[in-house]
Amino acid sequence: MITGHTGFKGAWLNLLLTRYGIPTIGYSLPPQKSSLYTMLKPKNHTIEFFGDIRDTVSVDNFIKTYNPAAIIHLAAQPLVLESYRKPRDTFDINVMGTVNILESAFSNESVKAVLAVTTDKVYFNNNSDKSFIETDPLQGKDPYSASKVGVESAVAAWQEVRQVFGGPKVVSLRAGNVIGGGDMAENRLLPDIIRCLTEKRKLELRNPNSKRPWQHVLDPLNGYLSALEAILAGNEIQAVNFGPSLDSLSVAEVAEVALKNWSTTGRVEIEFLNSPTISETTNLRLNSKLAQETLGWSTKWTQIEAVTSTIKWWDLVLNEGLTAYDACQNDLNKLFLD
């Protein structure tokens, strides 16, 4: 079961599971018209229900009806700026939505594992350029990251419940900034760049010197499945990071790589902005040694390759007429190359 299967990561995850031959069911809000899910709809044959994860009865009924063996919980309010506008909703969706999933999973004997996807932003970060490991202290500043720390607390609580009463294994998955074809969310760097390129308007960049662990969406998703395989095989994992091994690129560097790889002519004006009222960390890095050593996981794309692949995906779809499905299959083929 994938929660949030109509979102960007959910649509890619469904394609990845299909490639592995693993059947899925999906529970999510209805898709947005411009979403990757909508572009892929003719190829999407999963059993699905459109509902809100805050609806306890609906979530419970769906799980009882289809009895999934595992749940990958992606559904969330994932945007930092939106969390400032709607902090209460952000906490309600992210924390209590996760609680609903966990509560229903623990009441259904078919569920053997719940994987709760949080974020790299859950760590206490004082911009020391530290590479975070899974046991580092957690603390969120903005409403989004704080709500995800709340999710981490719920995961830890249900891990304790399992020790006392039994139930499915629960693990939190922390990934860096994922990018890839099909993401058109507001106030995200690569989607903003694509919109400016196609609309031929000025590109405004917040905090150009900020560094993030950029990675192609298929890299952490494949890591999630490796984690699922490991815990079903008997490994005990409470939390695991998925991030690139090399130093993070800055926002300005990502923009430079993106603009170089867009095929159509025309110069895009760039304006660098600062957002002092928004609490965003300057440097963010993850240590993925646990995933590498325990799961045998590593990235297929470098950060530059991930940015280039994202731009090429959109270039092929918007300028060359390739279908979104075929563009996604191109990237999946790379993932499965030895």
Q: What is the 3-state secondary structure (H, E, C) of 284-335?
A: CEECCHHHHHHHCCCCCCCHHHHHHHHHHHHHHHHHCCCCHHHHHHHHHHHH
Closest CA to 106 of 158, 141, 153, 45: 158
pLDDT of 272: 79
Q: Give the three-state DSSP class for 240.
A: strand
pLDDT of 86: 97
pLDDT of 82: 94
Find the length of the chain: 338
Q: What is the pLDDT along the chain (338 residues), one digit of tens a residue?
A: 999 999 999 999 999 999 999 999 999 999 999 899 999 976 767 899 999 999 999 999 999 999 999 999 999 999 999 999 999 999 999 999 999 999 999 999 999 999 999 999 999 998 787 899 999 999 998 999 999 999 999 999 999 999 999 999 999 999 989 999 999 988 889 999 999 988 888 888 878 888 888 999 999 999 999 999 999 999 999 999 999 988 788 999 999 999 899 987 666 788 877 655 565 666 788 999 999 999 999 999 999 999 999 999 999 999 999 999 999 999 999 998 85
Q: Which amino acid is it at 219? A: D
Q: Give the three-state DSSP class for 29.
A: coil
pLDDT of 41: 79
Close Cβ partners of 145 (under 8 Å, ≥ 6 residues apart): 80, 119, 121, 122
pLDDT of 264: 73
Dump the DSSP string for 190-233.
HHHHHHHHHHT-PEEEESTT-EE--EETHHHHHHHHHHHHHHHT
Cβ atoms < 10 Å from Cβ of 243 = 27
pLDDT of 337: 80
Under DSSP, the state recorded for 265 is -
Could you give the angle at the alpha carbon of 95 between the alpha carbons of 92 and 98, nearest 5°?
Answer: 115
Closest CA to 101 of 135, 124, 74: 74
pLDDT of 277: 54
The C-alpha atoms of residue 194 and residue 32 are separated, in whole angstroms, by: 17
Closest CA to 317 of 179, 177, 180, 178: 180
Residue matched to tokens 């003719």: 42
Whole-prediction pTM value? Answer: 0.94
Question: Which tokens belong to 169?
Answer: 């294994």
pLDDT of 1: 98
pLDDT of 117: 98
Query: Strands 215-216 and 270-273, how do they pair?
Result: unpaired
Question: Which tokens belong to 290?
Answer: 């646990």
CA distances to 87, 203, 302, 308 from 259, in Å: 34, 11, 17, 9
The C-alpha atoms of residue 153 and residue 100 are separated, in whole angstroms, by: 14
